[in-house]
Amino acid sequence: MVIRIKARAGESAEQMMRRFKKLCEKEGLTKEIKKRAFYEKPSERKQRALRKAVKRRQQQALIAANPRAAKNPRAKARAGGR
């Protein structure tokens, strides 16, 4: 994955760096670098994937039980159906 930035007319180095950082963030490059900064054992990777799947299932169950939660994930189901 190669990210290339061409200097625009009248653009300073700071502005170019800002655009570069935004592109790196958009491509997920910074997240990937942070993820690979330390070795992760395969068992830890599986545990993390399992936790992520459980969280996703809980979120889907919450949305199914409370349709308002689809718009606002932090919305709590109220007693009495209000």
6-49 confidence digits (pLDDT tens): 989 999 999 999 999 999 999 999 889 998 999 999 999 999 99
Is residue 59 classed as helix, strand or coil in its secondary structure?
helix
Element (H, E) at 47: helix 42-65
- Tell me what pLDDT residue 12 has: 93
Give the model's pLDDT for residue 20. 93
Question: Per-residue pLDDT tens for 44-79?
Answer: 999 999 999 999 999 999 888 887 766 666 666 555
Average pLDDT, the chain: 86
**Distance between CA atoms of residues 59 and 82, nearest Å:** 20
pLDDT of residue 77: 57
